């Protein structure tokens, strides 16, 4: 029977354990808070008594922790048991920390693959699930059948930090979008509009954004550095960014997010991109303001 060890039983680690158990894998789990293992143990997982026992149970060791420091906290006293293991760390952290972790694992004779799961826990194991990986491709190939159960692997390169660079970039979009949706909801809420009324309206904007981002000229302009403003200009959209700040000020709500967006437009216009398309903001975003 194929065996996998999972460290970390938050919603994500539990989801991974469940989908592997459903495929008849032998799943060994360890979690700092042992009580959190109850559901997956009911579903057939084995709860290891110690990190050392958990490591001993499988060659493939998946980590699903809050960050990379948690990996050192969990495995730091069992480094003598890492030799020959394939660590696949699917926790979030900066690319620098993932590089350090790969070197740390290699120094203890373990192989190390970095990953970033790109769907919420309930979607793990579904068609929608995909996971960025970087590091030695042979580790992914050795365990691809197993890892594919969690989500479609998207290998982005040998450099260990790359998967987390993709992950953080995608979460940059995701978290900023969620905050902007909440900010906009607070804005209309200042006039008594409810989220139930407003959120369906927001979906229309998100679909429009999809079309704009998907248009080939968007990528072409960003990659070429040529930003013709035939249909809309940075000056026009910057005026709107000013209006959003003014409306938020009048509503008495948080200003940091609209001010950040406004600053991109102000800087782009100051840099001479006033008549260019909004894609020209990339030229100022690439450096610190």
Q: Which residues bind ligand NDP (CB under 6 A)?
A: 8-13, 31-33, 36, 64-66, 70, 73-74, 91-92, 117, 120-121
Strand, coil or helix: what is 94? coil
Q: Are strands 111-117 and 130-134 parallel, antiparallel or unpaired?
A: antiparallel
User: Minimum distance from CB of 128 to ligand NDP (Å)?
Assistant: 12
CB of 193 to ligand NDP, least distance (A): 29
Residue with Cβ nearer ligand NDP (9 or 40): 9
* CB-based contact 141:168 (threshold 8 Å): no
Residue nearest to ligand NDP (CB): 10
Contact 75, 82 (CB under 8 A): yes
* Alpha helix positions (H), 51-113: 51-57, 68-75, 95-107
- Residue 247 CB, nearest approach to ligand NDP (Å): 33
Rounded to the nearest whole angstrom, what is the least distance from the CB of residue 68 to ligand NDP in the complex? 9
- 6 or 269: whose CB is closer to ligand NDP? 6
Quick one: 62 or 261, whose CB is closer to ligand NDP?
62
Cα–Cα distances (Å) from 77 to 9, 74, 113, 189, 282, in that order, read: 20, 7, 21, 51, 45
Chain-centroid distance, C-alpha 175: 9
Tell me whether strands 26-30 and 3-7 are parallel, antiparallel or unpaired.
Answer: parallel
How far apart are the C-alpha atoms of 16 and 6, rounded to whole Å?
Answer: 8
Two structure tokens written together for 247: 């409306």
Cβ distance to ligand NDP smaller for residue 31 or 248: 31
Of 10 and 189, CB closest to ligand NDP: 10
Residue in the structure block whose two tokens are 């302009």: 221
Q: Cβ 11 to ligand NDP, closest distance in Å?
A: 4
Under DSSP, is residue 254 helix (H, G, I), strand (E, B) or coil? coil
Kindly tell me which of 81 and 276 has the beta carbon lying closer to ligand NDP: 81
Cα 169 to Cα 276: distance, rounded to the nearest angstrom: 25
Provide the 10 A C-beta neighbour count for residue 233.
Answer: 20
Residue 95: CB minimum distance to ligand NDP, A? 14
Q: Which is nearer to ligand NDP, 56 or 171 (CB)?
A: 171
In angstroms, give the least distance from the CB of 140 to ligand NDP.
18
């Amino acid at each position: 029977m194929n065996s996998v060890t999972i460290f970390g039983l938050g919603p994500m680690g539990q989801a991974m354990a469940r989908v592997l158990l459903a495929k008849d894998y032998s799943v060994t789990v360890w979690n700092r808070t042992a009580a959190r293992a109850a559901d997956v143990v009911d579903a057939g997982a084995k709860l290891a008594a110690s990190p050392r026992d958990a490591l001993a149970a499988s060659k493939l060791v998946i980590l699903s922790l809050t960050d990379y420091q948690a990996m050192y906290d969990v495995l730091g006293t069992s480094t003598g048991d890492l030799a020959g293991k394939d660590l696949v760390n699917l926790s979030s952290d900066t690319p620098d920390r993932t590089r350090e972790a790969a070197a740390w694992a290699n120094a203890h004779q373990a192989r190390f693959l970095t990953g970033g799961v790109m769907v919420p826990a309930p979607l793990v194991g579904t068609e929608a699930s995909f996971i960025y990986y970087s590091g030695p491709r042979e580790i992914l190939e050795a365990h691809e059948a197993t890892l594919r159960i969690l989500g479609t692997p998207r290998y982005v390169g040998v450099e260990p930090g790359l998967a987390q660079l993709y992950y953080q970039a995608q979460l940059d979009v995701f978290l900023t979008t969620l905050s902007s949706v909440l900010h906009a909801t607070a804005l209309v809420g200042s006039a008594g509009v409810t989220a139930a009324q407003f959120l369906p309206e927001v979906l229309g904007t998100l679909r429009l954004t999809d079309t704009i981002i998907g248009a080939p000229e968007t990528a072409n302009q960003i990659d070429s550095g040529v930003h013709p403003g035939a249909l809309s200009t940075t000056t026009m959209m910057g005026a709107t960014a000013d209006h959003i700040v003014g409306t938020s000020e009048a509503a008495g709500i948080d200003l940091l997010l609209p001010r950040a967006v406004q600053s991109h437009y102000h800087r782009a216009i100051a840099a001479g991109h006033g008549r260019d398309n909004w894609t020209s903001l990339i030229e100022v975003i690439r450096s610190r303001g």
